[in-house]
A = this chain, B = another copy of it.
């Protein structure tokens, strides 16, 4: 029995008490959140989001790569979101290595160097700021009036805005 099997039992319980079948496709709050995949960071918990409220985009670091720009373009152009919230967090795994180290370790093991940047960073606030700039400089995202970035503190549960 895998953990996946355990989680599927939870999914059956979720379906058994499900009452949200009539929610519309576009997010009710017109917000897209981009956050780190970290297990301790729940955008639902932190921001008080419920099913139907917001697009939630996540990856290692909460960084902005081509795929997040794709998702944000689709979110705004097809589904009407107008505000973007970025969330990095303290004690992030991305602070524990360098891109060169990680790529070299993989190359030593597999004989192939990854063609992508791992996107490690050393300064949380600086990476939030440059992530925002990756969005503001993108030609395909139409609405840039509310793009705000935050650091979530996993130790305290607090969300701190990066200025």
Residue A133 CB within 8 A of the other chain: no
Q: Is the pair B66, A66 in contact by a Cβ cutoff of 8 Å?
A: yes
| Copies assembled | 2
Asked if A125 lies at the interface with its beta carbon under 8 angstroms from chain B, I say no
B68 touches A67 (CB 8 A): yes
Q: Is the CB of B110 within 8 A of A10?
A: no
Expressed in whole angstroms, the minimum distance between the Cβ of A25 and any Cβ of chain B is 6
Residues A40 and B15 in contact, CB atoms below 8 Å apart: no
B77 touches A106 (CB 8 A): yes
- Across the interface, do A73 and B140 meet the contact criterion of CB distance under 8 Å? no
Decide: B51 and A59 in contact? CB cutoff 8 A: no
| Cβ distance A5 to chain B, nearest Cβ, rounded Å | 9
